[in-house]
Copies of this chain bind each other. A is one copy, B any other.
Amino acid sequence: MSPRQGRQTPEADPPSAQPQRRATLKLVAESLGVSITTVSNAFSRPDQLSEALRERVLAEAARLGLSSPDAAARSLRLGRSASIGVMYTDRLSYAFSDPGAVLFLQGVSRVCEANGQQLVLIPSTSSADAAATAVGRSTIDGLIVYSVADDDPVLAAAIDRRMPLVLVDQPRIDSLPWIGVDDEKACRALAEHVVSLGHRRLAVIATEFDRDRAGGRATKARQEAITFSTTAARLRGYRAAVEKAGLSWQGVPVVEARENSEDNGYRLATALLRVKNRPTAILAMTDQLALGALRAAERRGFIVPDDVSIAGYDDIPAARVLTTVSQPHEEKGRRAAEQLLSLLAGRTSPPRHQELATTLRVRVTTGAPPRSE
């Protein structure tokens, strides 16, 4: 038995004597014999009418099923919609399988609910047209662009639309607020740690290079054409450490995962570990890939870290054992939302480029390479 059934009683909803006009301010006004303005004021400007009248209006509105003025009409008239959008790499649904993205969204939503803002998730599509449409068709006042390829048409569409924007995990653009971490520095520190343990043969499992996600072993040319800036930055970090140690970057296999998942890490690591002169350390660009690599190594009978060291990135809760880099996903989301809201409010913004700190977490999946090697 439903608690709500009271509302479905015949009195509340008679067998449609009248054609059931949609509830609007006008309907309420007519039904009450007052003007539309008065009804509008009852909702939006309580000080403009007597308390008693306001009560009456609101009661009648509720009776007719109008809980508040129509949102679309209000947005049109006001030029604001009290909602902000978030645009994510490519398929939105992937965001929910990426722990970092989920934490980011949590941060954003926290600020939204504290400020009575709606949060609109904008689905992205492969086609440029459709992408522009997706942004254009959203009733939003501003947009957070999160981890989108540099050349993604959706980003271009958003900029074209001259919509207030905040960039996160994107290349910086001077005129736009930016939140992020120094991926390059963090990855260099991580790789330096690994190299300092004595490893000479490294391998990299990378996140997507570009919107094509070709996947697999990456030539030098492809490495230089990466359009996901985060991937590019992390790779530069690894490379800097490798070259600083006097090792050949050419000799480091770099494979691209088409999607950030444990299974992909497993598959790619399996291939990496199968070759004769296998790497003694694997640098994975996310913890999920690293967890897959861990599983692959163990499956092949290797002991981690004695036979092979593995490092990740993100410090997600599920990866307590991994040597990794910790970054404040949730805080990124909060800051991005705050920055956007303050931009929309026309407040003078705090420093527009906010770089957040990362921390290297050395744990049990990295150690010295095997003696024999």
Interface residues of A (CB under 8 A from B): 2-9, 12, 23, 62, 65-83, 91-93, 95-97, 102-103, 105-106, 109-110, 112-113, 116-125, 130, 132-140, 150-151, 155-157, 159-162, 171-173, 175, 227, 317-318, 346
A136 touches B9 (CB 8 A): no
Instruction: Choose from B140, B162, B173 the contact partner of A4 (Cβ within 8 Å).
Output: B173
A76 touches B73 (CB 8 A): yes
Task: Please report the C-alpha to C-alpha distance between residue A130 and residue B114 in the assembled complex, in whole angstroms.
Answer: 12
Other CB < 8 Å A-B pairs besides A3-B79, A71-B139, A118-B134, 8 of them? A2-B171, A3-B171, A4-B150, A68-B132, A81-B139, A113-B123, A116-B123, A120-B121
A7 touches B160 (CB 8 A): yes
B68 touches A92 (CB 8 A): no
Give the Cβ gap from A357 to chain B, nearest Cβ, in Å. 22
Question: Chain B residues with Cβ under 8 A from A150's Cβ?
Answer: 2-4
Question: Chain B residues with Cβ under 8 A from A133's Cβ?
Answer: 67-68, 116
User: Which single residue of chain B is at the shortest CB-CB distance from A117?
Assistant: B123
Task: Please report the C-alpha to C-alpha distance between residue A71 and residue B118 in the assembled complex, in whole angstroms.
Answer: 15
Task: Please report the C-alpha to C-alpha distance between residue A175 and residue B12 in the assembled complex, in whole angstroms.
Answer: 14
Task: Please report the C-alpha to C-alpha distance between residue A71 and residue B163 in the assembled complex, in whole angstroms.
Answer: 13
Instruction: Choose from B72, B76, B109 the contact partner of A121 (Cβ within 8 Å).
Output: B109
Task: Please report the C-alpha to C-alpha distance between residue A325 and residue B205 in the assembled complex, in whole angstroms.
Answer: 35
18 contacts between A and B (CB under 8 A): A3-B79, A3-B151, A4-B155, A4-B173, A23-B162, A65-B161, A67-B133, A68-B136, A72-B81, A92-B119, A93-B109, A96-B102, A97-B106, A116-B123, A118-B123, A118-B138, A119-B121, A121-B121
Count this chain's copies in the assembly. Answer: 2
Question: Chain B residues with Cβ under 8 A from A6's Cβ?
Answer: 79-80, 346
Task: Please report the C-alpha to C-alpha distance between residue A117 and residue B139 in the assembled complex, in whole angstroms.
Answer: 12
Give the Cβ gap from A257 to chain B, nearest Cβ, in Å. 18
B3 touches A78 (CB 8 A): yes
User: Which single residue of chain B is at the shortest CB-CB distance from A130?
Assistant: B116
Task: Please report the C-alpha to C-alpha distance between residue A23 and residue B163 in the assembled complex, in whole angstroms.
Answer: 12
Question: Chain B residues with Cβ under 8 A from A73's Cβ?
Answer: 76
Question: Chain B residues with Cβ under 8 A from A119's Cβ?
Answer: 92, 120-121, 123
A116 touches B93 (CB 8 A): no
Known: A137-B82, A160-B65. A103 touches B112 (CB 8 A): no
Known: A4-B173, A78-B3, A123-B118. A83 touches B138 (CB 8 A): yes
Task: Please report the C-alpha to C-alpha distance between residue A12 and residue B106 in the assembled complex, in whole angstroms.
Answer: 32
Question: Chain B residues with Cβ under 8 A from A120's Cβ?
Answer: 83, 118-121
